[in-house]
């Protein structure tokens, strides 16, 4: 009797792609992925080895071709905007074979005409009872172009990149089978970080007009609806030396004078594709359509999330159970599937198991346990932090910043100005930073962003109310000779509304071997508004290592910072008790004093009255609070004192535009004047204060 597989063999199966906007195509026989090569033209199928890559994601376009009745076709558009198809030089390829069984090389093609047979595909059902798809696959299909040829993944025993060809021969059908993995969409991914060679090429370009290979960039500005001119005279061109898409975006943003999204277009009829990876190695001319950030056309763009393929089954455990009940001929393939995704299954099972349960280490696939009881290895986590930037800081109120290379924490030094990274022996407020967010108008910082959307920046406020930042940038600090200068990072006052040196952006790092520790939210690179990076330096002879900023991306490991979330405290922390040194009296020599400037705020947090000052000796915050409260009450009319009470919260303010920070630790060693503001306890402003819980356990990891 004819089986279902035999009846459906080689029949259209286009519904596999229904609702699919982005897909990865996995070779059924070898578990390798169809990839658009970095040369911009070649196509291979390679092993991703657990690394998510935009090069292995294809945008799926649907098209109805003329006919009676019209036929549905698929077009697969790669990361460079070009389409999967055969080369046009078929005469030479087929000349030696009268039966037309010669193979054409698959390539990434421009779409210069409305309909190109070589890039228009139909999905066909495959034959054979041995076919089943992985748990994350939508189906297993053959891809057949409009010219009657099949997409074939060849084997190359001597190389890690296997060639892909197109021919009309159905022999060796296993090499024609492709698994369809739907890829979900993402809000807006961060562009890859510019690597050392990219920055070196940029420096060479500024130093010499002839150094380095250059490519022509032709670009045109689109209006807010996405319309742009096709006339050659309306396109602008320039020479560009580098492969970094980050540097190219900054170059074009400077030319058009607003924040942009870069889209590539391959051929006159090619669709716009957001450029999310570095430029191809080839030096072909690249056609860029510039969209204004947050315009209507920009908001309609969709971005793939290659790190998370969509699972087609209800749960991983069900997938393993159904696989285990298959015939013995599928056992080897099941084991390969289990090894690749076993750690995800263990995570899914752990959510429904008691916390004290110990995972078994047997090989029973029906139970869905890992081979190793130790759980996921380090390499399984390498993608968790490397693809994220500003979203790492979403909903974070307080954070510790840990050096990825050294495992040390960024501290606000007790001198009140210095910053260092050192070990965290005890819970310390000096290693906790309040995270402020600020939207800054795009442009030169004067508030006129030329209509462009504002950019989100981060400010890190330390225990003394001062902000993390380097010295103000001078002309040339981000380019040329000065970019390599190490500038010391300090705790800075905020005397202006916008200070470029204390405003930071989190950038996804460019290394694939990066993973975060179990208590880290993500691994990022911090770059200030002046284009300089926060670097944790090494000091072999000191336990407290310096921190600097510079415009050089060398030694990227020293630029990586892990975000460790610190939860808000449910109560109000106790102030440290005064020590004997704070209470003692010096007889021989007069004690040096610092100036304390103080003022009281009303219940809404608005400053009342004028600033007063007095000299203060010692470092005790508890004694300082009592001294300031006593002076405030003495200057308050007796009739108003009962309403004020005697309990106040002492806050510091660093600079005219600094935010109020509760002073929870003793005063810094330096004798700089300190500006403090008193808030009445349980007032509206006081109740809005948030305190960090430095003793709380770190967040546990999430496997979702």
What pLDDT score does 107 carry?
95
* Helices 316-324 & 331-350 angle (0-180, nearest 10): 150
DSSP per position, 293-337:
TTSHHHHT--EE-TT-PPP-SS-HHHHHHHHHTS-GGGHHHHHHH
124 φ/ψ angles, rounded to the nearest 5 degrees: -120, 145
Is residue 188 domain-resident?
Answer: no
- Domain match, 290 and 333 both: no
By 3-state DSSP, what share of the chain in percent is helix, strand and coil, each rounded to 5? 20, 30, 50
Residue of 610, 612, 609, 628 lying closest to 667 (CA atoms):
628
What's the rounded Cα separation, in Å, for the pair 645 and 676? 19
Which class for 361: exposed (0-12), middle (13-18), buried (19 or more C-beta within 10 A)? exposed
Within-domain flag for 698 = no
Residue 460, helix vs strand vs coil? strand
- pLDDT tens digits, 562-600: 999 999 988 888 888 876 455 554 445 456 789 999 999
Domain-located, residue 699: no
Residues 78 and 107 in one domain: yes
Distance in angstroms (rounded) separating the CA atoms of residues 235 and 225: 18
C-alpha dist (Å) from residue 545 to 195, 334, 422, 466, 494: 25, 50, 6, 20, 25
Identify the CATH number of the domain in which residue 598 sits: 3.10.20.90
The CA distance from 34 to 19, in Å, is 20
571, part of any domain: no
348 and 218 together in one domain: no
Assigned domain for 693 exists: no
The pLDDT score that the predictor gives to residue 363 is 31
Would you state the pLDDT for residue 155? Answer: 81
Q: Is 207 helix (H, G, I), strand (E, B) or coil?
A: helix
Boundary of a domain, candidates 304, 337, 355: 304
**ω into 69 cis (within 30 of 0):** yes
Give the number of other Cβ atoms within 10 Å of residue 401's Cβ. 24
Same domain, 337 and 459: no
Residue 567: left if φ>0, alpha if ψ -120 to 50, beta else—which one? beta
Report mean pLDDT in 10-residue bins for the chain, 704 residues.
51 87 90 92 84 88 85 94 81 39 84 92 81 69 92 78 88 89 88 61 44 81 93 92 89 92 94 94 93 93 80 36 37 36 34 32 30 34 49 91 91 93 83 93 51 83 95 63 70 93 87 66 90 87 81 86 90 79 50 87 88 91 92 84 83 92 92 92 90 74 38
Residues 70 and 108 grouped into a single domain:
yes
Please tell me whether residues 265 and 352 are part of one structural domain: no
- Give the span between the Cα atoms of 476 and 373, in whole angstroms: 54
Number of domains comprising the chain: 5
State the Cα torsion 643-645-650-655 to the nearest 10°. 20
User: If we measure between CA atoms, which residue out of 661, 609, 615 comes closest to residue 640?
Assistant: 609
Final residue in a domain of this structure, among 544, 566, 588: 566
Using alpha carbons, list the distances in angstroms from residue 177 to 14, 171, 181, 462.
15, 12, 13, 58
Is 60 inside any structural domain? Answer: yes
**Residue 166 lies inside a defined structural domain of this protein:** yes
Range of the domain at 367: 316-376
Give the CATH number of the domain where residue 130 resides: 2.80.10.50
pLDDT for 366 equals 29
Angle at the Cα of 72 from the Cα atoms of 67 and 73, rounded to 5 degrees:
110
| Shared-domain flag, residues 154 and 22 | yes
- Which helix (H) or strand (E) element contains residue 6? helix 4-8
* CB contact at 8 A, 316 and 341: yes
Whether residues 299 and 320 share a domain: the answer is no
Do 605 and 463 reside in the same domain of the chain?
no
Rg value, the chain, Cα: 31
- Report the greatest alpha carbon distance in the chain: 110
Nearest Cα neighbor of 223 from 275, 298, 274, 288 is: 298
Of the residues 280, 304, 328, the one at which a domain ends: 304
Q: Which residues lie across from 568 on neighbouring strands?
A: 692
| 273-274 and 260-264 strand pairing | antiparallel
How many angstroms separate the CA atoms of 523 and 167, rounded? 45
Distance between CA 464 and CA 457 in Å, rounded? 21
Neighbouring CB atoms inside 10 A of 326's CB total: 13
What pTM does this model have? 0.50
Q: How far apart are CA 510 and CA 524, in angstroms?
A: 9
**Overall size of the chain counted in residues:** 704
d(CA 180, CA 185): 16
Pair 626, 477 in one domain: no
Co-location of 152 and 26 in the same domain: yes
198 domain residue, yes or no: no
Task: Looking at the structure, tell me whether residues 131 and 235 fall in a common domain.
Answer: no
């Amino acid at each position: 009797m004819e089986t279902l597989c035999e009846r459906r063999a080689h029949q259209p199966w286009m519904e596999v792609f229904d609702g699919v906007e982005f897909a990865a195509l996995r070779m059924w026989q070898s578990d390798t992925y169809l990839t658009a090569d970095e040369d911009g033209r070649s196509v291979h199928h390679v092993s991703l080895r657990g690394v998510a890559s935009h090069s292995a994601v294809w945008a799926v376009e649907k098209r109805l071709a003329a006919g009676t009745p019209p036929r549905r076709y698929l077009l697969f558009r790669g990361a460079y905007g070009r389409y999967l198809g055969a080369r046009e030089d078929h005469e030479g390829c087929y000349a030696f074979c009268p039966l037309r069984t010669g193979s054409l090389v698959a390539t990434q093609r421009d779409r210069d005409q409305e309909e190109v047979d070589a890039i228009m595909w139909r999905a066909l059902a495959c034959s054979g009872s041995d076919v089943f798809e992985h748990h994350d696959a939508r189906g297993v299909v053959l891809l057949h172009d409009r010219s009657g040829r099949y997409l074939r993944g060849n084997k190359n025993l001597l190389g890690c990149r296997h060639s892909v060809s197109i021919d009309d021969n159905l022999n060796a059908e296993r090499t024609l089978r492709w698994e369809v993995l739907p890829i979900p969409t993402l809000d807006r991914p961060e562009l890859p970080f510019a690597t050392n060679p990219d920055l070196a090429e940029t420096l060479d370009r500024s130093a010499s007009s002839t150094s380095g290979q250059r490519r022509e960039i032709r670009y045109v500005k689109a209006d807010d609806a996405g319309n742009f001119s096709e006339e050659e005279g309306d396109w602008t061109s320039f020479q560009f030396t580098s492969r970094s898409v980050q540097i190219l975006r900054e170059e074009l943003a400077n030319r058009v004078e607003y924040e942009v999204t870069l889209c590539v277009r391959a051929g006159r009829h090619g669709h716009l594709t957001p450029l999310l990876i570095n430029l191809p190695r080839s030096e072909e001319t690249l056609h860029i359509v510039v969209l204004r950030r947050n315009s209507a056309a920009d908001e309609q763009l969709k971005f793939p999330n290659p790190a998370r393929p969509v699972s087609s089954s209800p749960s991983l455990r069900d997938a393993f159970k159904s696989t285990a009940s298959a015939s013995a001929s599928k056992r080897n393939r099941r084991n390969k599937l289990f090894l690749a995704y076993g750690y995800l299954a263990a995570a899914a099972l752990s959510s429904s198991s008691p916390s004290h349960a110990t995972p078994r280490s047997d090989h029973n696939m029906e139970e869905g346990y890992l081979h190793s009881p130790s759980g996921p290895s380090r390499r399984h986590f390498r993608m968790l932090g490397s693809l994220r930037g500003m979203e790492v800081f979403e909903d974070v109120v307080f954070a510790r910043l840990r050096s990825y290379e050294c495992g040390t924490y960024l501290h606000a030094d007790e001198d009140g100005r210095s910053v260092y990274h050192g070990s965290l022996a005890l819970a310390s407020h000096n290693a906790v930073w309040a995270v402020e967010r600020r939207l800054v108008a795009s442009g030169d910082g004067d508030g006129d962003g030329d209509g462009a959307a504002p950019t989100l920046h981060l400010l890190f406020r330390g225990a003394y109310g001062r902000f993390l930042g380097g010295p103000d940038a001078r002309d040339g600090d981000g380019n040329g000779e000065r970019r390599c200068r190490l500038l010391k990072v300090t705790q800075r006052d905020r005397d202006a509304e916008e200070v470029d040196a204390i405003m930071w952006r989190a950038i996804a790092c460019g290394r694939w071997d990066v993973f975060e520790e179990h208590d880290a939210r993500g691994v990022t690179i911090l770059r200030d508004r002046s284009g300089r990076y926060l670097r944790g330096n090494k000091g072999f002879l000191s336990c407290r290592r310096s921190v600097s900023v510079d415009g050089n991306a060398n030694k990227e490991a020293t630029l990586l910072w892990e975000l460790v979330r610190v939860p808000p405290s449910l109560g109000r922390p106790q102030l440290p008790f005064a020590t004997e040194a704070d209470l003692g009296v010096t007889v021989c020599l007069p004690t040096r004093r610092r100036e304390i400037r103080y003022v009281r705020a009303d219940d809404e947090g608005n400053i009342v009255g004028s600033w007063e000052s007095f000299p203060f000796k010692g470092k005790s915050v508890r004694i300082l609070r009592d001294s300031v409260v006593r002076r405030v009450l003495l200057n308050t009319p007796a009739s108003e004192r009962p309403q004020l009470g005697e309990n106040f919260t002492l806050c510091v303010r660093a600079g005219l535009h600094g935010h109020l920070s509760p002073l929870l630790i003793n005063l810094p060693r330096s004798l700089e004047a300190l500006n403090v503001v008193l808030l009445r306890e349980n007032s509206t402003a006081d109740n809005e204060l948030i305190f960090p819980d430095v003793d709380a356990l770190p967040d546990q990891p999430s496997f979702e």
